[in-house]
A and B are shown apart, each in its own frame.
Chain A
Amino acid sequence: MIRTEELYKSFGETEVLKGISTEFYQGKTNLIIGRSGAGKTVLLKCLVGLIRPTQGKIFYSDTAFSQLDKKQIKAIRMEVGMLFQGSALFDSMTVEENVRFPLDMFTNMTRKEKLNRVNETLERVELTGVNDRYPSETSGGMQKRVGIARAIVMQPKYLFCDEPNSGLDPKTAILIDELILDITKDQNITTVINTHDMNSVMEIGDNIILLHHGHVAWRGTNAEVLESDNEILQNFIFASPFLQKLRKNALENL
């Protein structure tokens, strides 16, 4: 579990996060949703320590992240996997080398053990036979899968995904969501996902946190979304007249 307490972050004059206190549960897919520019990426990067919050605390289980020294942070990093918004695969390395990178950095495994682990992980994300390709030679959906494989190859306890299905067609997006959901349930890990995809919200939203103007505007599960009368939430999820009509119909049929 990860918990934040009164998290603030500003860049110069612009305040992005204004007191975020929330929880992300183990074994669940925790979703951070919000409009573009709402601060989802900033919050996620604060959680993993890439951005230092101006104020506030972050707890991993019960250890306060901000009070750790370099060595302890590295120890926690071994348990963290992250998929970046643009996949962030290293261009000069092949798919295999990309996925192997964390193993090279953190472990003393032999070449053979690493290769086995890499192949297992690539199989897990349904990518086989592309080990020797370079990221530029694969499609966007494949890159996301490679990114996920690299994030989970160390078998982390915490998985962070920044917009795992942006830029993908709806079918592929759903497959990626299902993959992340499966991994989360299988390994019983704490998964935090940034998204503004309404499909994801409805399908895998175990614990949804809506960011709006730097505050948590709503929190709940996907089952509660439909019936909630929170205006910000409804404007965000059912943004178009078409979707609003769908919601109305769904509510009437309940």
Chain B
Amino acid sequence: MYYKETMRQMNDIGVGSLIIVALISLFIGAVTAVQFAYQLDGTLVPVYYIGYIVRDSTIIELAPTITCLVLAGKVGSNMAAELGGMRQKEHIDAMEIMGVNTAAYLIMPRLVAALIVIPMLVAIAAFVSIIGGYIATVPAGYMSSEEYVQGVRSFFEANNVFMMFVKSVTFAFLLTSVSCFQGYYVQGGSIELGKASTNAVVFSDILILIADYIIAILLT
């Protein structure tokens, strides 16, 4: 039972969010690259630094944070609405009657799926961002392909990748648990359901940003 539901959730969260995450990451990488190129213009900093900066800023900050903020809006609100709907339509009561531990049955698969899939999405986001940086700078003539690649390969610290995964696991946990909580305990009618869905996004976003700051302090 749990296995099937977890797979369904992984599919919903992962495959369902792939396109939006990739699209956003592509542009974030591109914008980061172009803006750093603009800031570095006329300075003595070598141009290949752009590749280096795009890589690190996306890995450390942009990929995990932006991806999870977007997922809070997409996946979080969806979870809250789905569970809230089940609560209001007495599905959760019906499951209780049939001997199901509903908190575990409904929340565990979502949590497990999110903890597995979201870090994968974040890794993809970071990769796509770096490609975005390439697309925005190399064909436009800011630098040569070799220089961008050299930048991407310079000053690499494995610790930053570790930080990216710490962030994505933490954010995944926060957005899933907050959203499930909002949905599971919803009362009343469709107005409350709308509120729960909004609260899921707002609270997840705030907690993600606070956690981001704390992790940044702890791991740098």
Map CB proximity to A onto B151-168 as digits: 1 under 8 Å, 0 otherwise: 000000000000000000
B96 and A88 contact, CB distance less than 8 A: no
Residues of A within 8 A of B94 (CB): 82, 84, 88, 90
Confirm or deny: B100 has a beta carbon within 8 angstroms of a beta carbon on chain A: yes
Confirm or deny: B98 has a beta carbon within 8 angstroms of a beta carbon on chain A: yes
Majority SS at the chain B contact face: loop
B93 and A86 contact, CB distance less than 8 A: no
User: What CA separation (Å) do A85 and B89 show in the bound complex?
Assistant: 9
A50 and B89 contact, CB distance less than 8 A: no
A109 to chain B, nearest CB (A): 15
User: What CA separation (Å) do A78 and B100 show in the bound complex?
Assistant: 11
User: What CA separation (Å) do A101 and B97 show in the bound complex?
Assistant: 11
A101 and B98 contact, CB distance less than 8 A: yes
Residues of A within 8 A of B91 (CB): 88, 90
Confirm or deny: A117 has a beta carbon within 8 angstroms of a beta carbon on chain B: no
A78 and B90 contact, CB distance less than 8 A: no
User: What CA separation (Å) do A74 and B93 show in the bound complex?
Assistant: 14
For window 85-106 of B, CB contacts with A under 8 Å fall at 89-91, 93-94, 96-100
B97 and A48 contact, CB distance less than 8 A: yes
Confirm or deny: B1 has a beta carbon within 8 angstroms of a beta carbon on chain A: yes
B interface size (C-beta, 8 A) = 11
A interface size (C-beta, 8 A) = 19
Residues of A within 8 A of B97 (CB): 48, 50, 77, 80-82
Residues of B within 8 A of A104 (CB): 1
Residue of A nearest to B94 (CB): A88
Residues of B within 8 A of A106 (CB): 98-99
Residues of B within 8 A of A84 (CB): 90, 93-94
A88 and B98 contact, CB distance less than 8 A: no
For window 95-148 of A, CB contacts with B under 8 Å fall at 101-102, 104-106
Partner of B99, one of A85, A86, A90, A102: A102
Confirm or deny: A45 has a beta carbon within 8 angstroms of a beta carbon on chain B: yes
Residues of A within 8 A of B100 (CB): 105
User: What CA separation (Å) do A92 and B17 show in the bound complex?
Assistant: 20
B1 to chain A, nearest CB (A): 7
Residues of B within 8 A of A45 (CB): 93
Residue of A nearest to B86 (CB): A90
User: What CA separation (Å) do A174 and B24 show in the bound complex?
Assistant: 58
A88 and B99 contact, CB distance less than 8 A: no
User: What CA separation (Å) do A78 and B73 show in the bound complex?
Assistant: 40
B23 to chain A, nearest CB (A): 28
Residues of A within 8 A of B90 (CB): 84-86, 88
Residues of A within 8 A of B96 (CB): 50
Partner of B93, one of A78, A88, A90, A105: A88
User: What CA separation (Å) do A48 and B91 show in the bound complex?
Assistant: 15
Residue of B nearest to A50 (CB): B93
Residues of A within 8 A of B99 (CB): 74, 77-78, 102, 105-106
Residues of B within 8 A of A82 (CB): 94, 97
Extra 17 A-B pairs, beta carbons < 8 Å, given A45-B93, A77-B97, A88-B91: A48-B97, A50-B93, A74-B99, A77-B99, A78-B99, A81-B97, A82-B94, A84-B90, A86-B89, A86-B90, A88-B90, A102-B98, A104-B1, A105-B99, A105-B100, A106-B98, A106-B99
Q: List 23 A-B contacts (CB under 8 A).
A: A45-B93, A48-B97, A50-B96, A50-B97, A74-B99, A77-B98, A77-B99, A78-B99, A80-B97, A81-B97, A82-B94, A84-B94, A86-B89, A88-B89, A88-B91, A88-B93, A88-B94, A90-B91, A90-B94, A102-B99, A105-B98, A105-B100, A106-B98
3 nearest A-B residue pairs (beta carbon): A88-B90, A88-B94, A84-B90
